[in-house]
Structures are given as C-alpha cells and as structure tokens.
Amino acid sequence: NDNLKEEIQDFGVQSLHKCYESCKSVDHCVSFTVCNMNGSCKLHTVEAVSETKTNVSLEKGKKKKCRFGYFLRYGHCYKCSKRFCKRGNIRRCRLGKFLHNGNCYRCPANRYSLEGKCKRCPKGTTVGIGKGRWISSCKREKKCYSGYYLRNGNCEKCPKNSYSRGGKSEHCKRCPEGTTVGIGEGKSENSCKQQKKCYSGYFQYQRNCYKCPKNMYSWGGFSRVCRQCPKGTTVGRGKGKSKKSCKRGKRWKCSRGYYLSYGYCYRCPKNMYSSGGKSKHCKRCPKGKTVASGKGKSKNSCKRGKRLKCSRGYYLRYGYCYRCPKNMYSSGGKSKHCKQCPKGTTVASGKGKSKNSCKRGKRLKCSKGYYLSYGYCYRCPKNMYSSGGKSKHCKRCPKGKTVASGKG
C-alpha cells in the first residue's frame, strides 16, 4: 500500500513487520497492524481502524470509544439527536450557550459564546442572558435617566419608595424609613418626602388626603383605605372618623316637610307633605291643592290654586306658580302670562317684576363673581374671580390657590 509506506516513512520506519496469523487481543499484533473482527491481524489502514473502532476489548481498563454520530454515556453508545451536533462523546451547544457536564446552559449576562465556552464582552459593552451569540452581540452600555435602573440592557422604572440616579445603575436604593416616593419618581434621596398624615375621615393616596366615601370611616394617619360601616348604619362623606360615627337610620328623626331615606332626611317634592319623624314617604296633596317643596308640613299646608297668588316675577298656571323666563316680566298675583321686555332690554329669569326691571345691556352691572357678556351676567368658572360691574372677563387665581365657581 503506497499510502501506508508514506505514512511509515514519516515516522522514520524503514521496513514492515509481519503480523501474526491470528490474534486474541491488540497486544498480539505488531506495529502498524490492528486486530480485525475475524480475529486476525491486518495492516493499519483507514478501513481497518473504522472496522475495529467499536470492538476494542476492555480487558485492560481502556475507555470505550463511540463512532461518529454517537456519544458515550454510562458505558454505552447512544445516537446523537438532531438538536445537537456531537462527535464521539463531545457535545456542541447552540450559540449563546455553553457545555457543562454534558448539558447546555445559557451564557450569563455580559458574556458571549465561543467554541462551547462563554467569553466576557469587551469593556463598556453589555448583552442579556443567553443573548450573546457572537462578539458583535455585545452592545455599548445603555445609560438610564434618573428614577430608572438598568436591567438586562433595558431601562425600567424604580419601584415605589425607592430611588436611583440613573446612568449604569443596576439597582434602586430604598428610601429612608418614614419617607415615600412614587413609582419612577425617585431621582435622588431628596425625592423621598416625609409621609403626610391625614385627618380622621380621610385616607391617603399617592401622598394626598381624600375624604372617605359615604357610609365608610377611617382613623386617618397613614391609612390608605376606608372601612365599611356596619350593616344598617350610615355616615356622611368624610364624616366617618371611627366606627362610632356610623349611626343607625332608625334613630334619626326628620323635621316636618321632610322624609327619611337610608338614614338621611330629604324634603318632600312640590305638592306633597309629611309630618316628619321617621316617616319614609311623603303624601300627595288633595286634588286641586298645591304646596311648595319642603313646605308641606301637614294636609292643611296644601292650598287650592284658585286662592293662590304668585309673587312678582312669577305667573299662575293650573294652580301652580312658575317664574317668568329670561327677558320677561310679571306683576304676580293671579297673572297667567309673562310679558316680553322692550326691544334691546334684558332681565334674568324670575327677576322681571315690572317693565322697569328690564334694563339695557350696556347699563347692566353684574355682581361680584360674575362677568358681563352680550348684556347678560354669567358666573366665573372655578379658580377664577371677577369684581363684577361691567367686567367682561374673569381673572385666574394665583398659582396654588382655588375658589368655587361664582364665588371669586
């Protein structure tokens, strides 16, 4: 064999040795020969090696070797799966993973895989867990804003009651005891503010105090929830300072002209009356009789419409008094209609007591908290004020101050 001769010359061997006719182990064969499956020595060729590779004797404690495409485990050869590439008992893992004790694991953060091992990313670069498939996977470190921290290469908000100065910080620090800060709002330790104590009947939410809803109570302080009143008891909004604040409706009594509903007193509607106390309903006036809302204290409070007289600015209709619409006036009494103000004049609804009540818009003056627009007065919106008169605009309150609509 020419190839075999060249191989022998490379090792400096000048002549071939004859092999024995038969062999019982590898030791019976001379140099450059192997024992084949038939029990005889054969020249050391590629075919001979591949033929005897899986049939080497283990009598002298030599390790068993598996052919290509198989791997060794517990002394036996198993076929490789398609998921991994194996050569003998060596196993290769996918990119981004490393081999350990025959198993594949993801490379830690800031490391990439190379020849089955995990290498550290170059200085100033980073990569997530198992994301480092090549060195190019390592990207320059990301810097976060204050109130955020770096996690797996992404910026995330700091949890509640913690802060971070941002940058390359991978953790958020906890606020000192007794202080608090919202999610992602902790930019430094100074961002942690002293917890605000609330009054009784209030609860705390995002460092602000709010009134407890109806039929609920709270002791205040740092309480973040309001408790429900016991069944059958009630309390007003923000009035529940303790459990004792919840009162039973059956102990409440209403004035005459009012009725009791769920522990609260409500005035009777128009043309209805009530004797008060624990009465839960209002009674309707007899047919043809009428009474104002909340004025019906008894049946005698209901009067017949034909005897009823209306005040000035109101008109009578079907035994009831209704106020005149805008820009109309009435002298009251038994008048059944309202008269139109002269052209170019105006008056508010129910304010037209006579023709003289109708004023021209240019002469009209508004009360404080109201502004003039096209001859009519409108109240100022919330957080705005006006000195009245002929003022056509409302001014905004200074920063941090507030006022109800029409009260400025």
Q: Give the C-alpha distances (Å, rounded to integers) separating 145 from 125, 171, 295.
A: 18, 13, 66
Residue 147: count of CB within 10 angstroms of its CB = 23
3 state SS of 47: helix
Report residue 390 as tokens.
């002929």
Long-range contacts for 351-354 (Cβ within 8 Å, ≥24 apart)?
A: 351/313, 352/313, 352/324, 352/327, 352/328, 353/312, 353/313, 353/329, 354/312, 354/329
Give 34's strand partners.
42
How many CA atoms, within 13 angstroms, populate the side-chain half-sphere of residue 361?
Answer: 12
Nearest to 276 by CA among 256, 247, 290, 296: 256
Report residue 193 as tokens.
């503010």
DSSP character string of 107-129: --TTEEEETTEEEEPPTTEE--T
Report residue 384 as tokens.
């705005």
Q: pLDDT at position 46, please?
A: 40
Using alpha carbons only, give the angle 231, 236, 241 rounded to the nearest 5 degrees: 80
Phi, psi of 107 (to 5 degrees): -70, 140
Q: pLDDT at position 338, please?
A: 92
Question: Tell me, what amino acid is at 223?
Answer: S
pTM to 2 decimal places: 0.26
Q: pLDDT at position 43, please?
A: 53
Report residue 287 as tokens.
């047919």
User: How far apart are alpha carbons 62 and 251 in whole angstroms?
Assistant: 99
Q: pLDDT at position 5, please?
A: 43
One digit per residue, pLDDT tens: the chain, 408 residues? 444 444 444 433 333 333 444 444 444 454 445 555 555 665 544 444 444 444 433 333 455 666 655 667 667 777 665 444 444 344 577 788 887 777 788 888 888 888 778 888 888 787 888 888 888 888 776 778 888 998 876 889 999 889 998 887 888 999 888 788 888 888 888 888 877 778 888 888 777 788 998 889 998 887 888 998 887 788 888 888 888 888 875 546 788 998 888 767 888 998 899 998 888 899 999 887 888 888 899 988 888 765 467 889 998 877 678 889 988 999 988 888 899 888 878 888 888 999 888 887 654 678 889 888 776 788 899 889 998 888 888 999 998 888 988 888
3 state SS of 250: helix
Q: pLDDT at position 172, please?
A: 92
Q: Look-up: residue for tokens 């620090």?
A: 173
